[in-house]
Structure 1
């Protein structure tokens, strides 16, 4: 896989994670069905938030590492062209 495909895939995973976090918050605060379910409803909304956080947080770090690597390679190329 090329870096651009990895970046695109990680962005999709991160966006999906953010959507799950938003869904979990919506379910917990505004959905009456989840409220009527009691503890099971709380578990469902908390699971959405938890899975969303798992999907969104590590991908941000990976994207940062890839961008730092790309920047260092670019800096190396620029410095090599000057000499």
Structure 2
């Protein structure tokens, strides 16, 4: 896959150092470093998100998406009206 990546100067230097040390391409150095980072994460404890009970909802959530759509429509209409 081809993509554009913007690196901070310090991370670019890490990649370039790897390129020089191993005489490999930028692409290979970047891929190797990403894989090494992922492998080091696997070795440590996996990230877990804690959950909390939020109690009973105070509104009917059966049609939550419809409600959100209506609110977005109202906001869009309001913005269009203020531009006129």
Q: Same fold (TM over 0.5)?
A: no
Which protein shows a greater Rg? 2
More helix by share: 1
TM-score scaled by length of structure 1: 0.29
TM-score scaled by length of structure 2: 0.29
Tell me which of the two structures has the higher relative contact order, counting C-alpha pairs closer than 8 angstroms and 6 or more residues apart: 1
